[in-house]
């Protein structure tokens, strides 16, 4: 079955560490997105990519980095510059006309 997979489901980060969240899709979608969701809040866009080897900053890109070397993959790195990284991270992909398909999310906690 086609879908979008995020891993790991839970991730713990020590202060000062970089961590990378994985997002893989086999839907042949061109566009991919990363969102951050804080408790009781909506979605905030971190980065998005409309095509391979190209990506754009969203509303809250500071402290995050991404790459898009393959169509199927859009990993997100949470760097030590992100001062409050504890949140639920959602990845999505899109064929632009039928909405986004979301992964099941990664919950990141700073310990």
Partner 1 sequence: GEDVEQSLFLSVREGDSSVINCTYTDSSSTYLYWYKQEPGAGLQLLTYIFSNMDMKQDQRLTVLLNKKDKHLSLRIADTQTGDSAIYFCAELRANNAGNMLTFGGGTRLMVKP
Residues contributing to the site for partner 1 (CB under 8 A)? 6, 31, 40-43, 48, 50, 56, 88, 90, 92, 94, 96-105, 107
For 74, what's the count of Cα atoms within 13 Å in the CB-facing half-sphere?
A: 33
Token pair, residue 66, equals 């991404």
Q: How far apart are CA 57 and CA 15, in angstroms?
A: 24
Q: How far is the CB of 80 from partner 1 (least distance, A)?
A: 26
Q: How far is the CB of 100 from partner 1 (least distance, A)?
A: 6
In the bound state with partner 1, the residue whose beta carbon lies nearer, of 30 and 73, is 30
Closest to 18 in 3D by CA, of 90, 75, 68, 92 = 75
In the bound state with partner 1, the residue whose beta carbon lies nearer, of 81 and 96, is 96
Q: How far is the CB of 39 from partner 1 (least distance, A)?
A: 11
In the bound state with partner 1, the residue whose beta carbon lies nearer, of 16 and 39, is 39
Q: How far is the CB of 60 from partner 1 (least distance, A)?
A: 14
* Helix (H) / strand (E) containing 34: strand 31-37
Closest to 55 in 3D by CA, of 65, 42, 43, 41 = 65
């Amino acid at each position: 079955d086609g879908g979008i997979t995020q891993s790991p489901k839970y991730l713990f980060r020590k202060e000062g560490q970089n961590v990378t969240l994985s997002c893989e899709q086999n839907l042949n979608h061109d566009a991919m997105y990363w969102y951050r969701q804080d408790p009781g809040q909506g979605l905030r866009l971190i980065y998005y990519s409309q095509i391979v080897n190209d990506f754009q900053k969203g509303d809250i890109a500071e402290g995050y980095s991404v790459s898009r070397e393959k169509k199927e993959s859009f990993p997100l790195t949470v760097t030590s510059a992100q001062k409050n990284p504890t949140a639920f991270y959602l990845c999505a992909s899109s064929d632009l006309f039928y909405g986004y398909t979301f992964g099941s999310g990664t919950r990141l906690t700073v310990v």
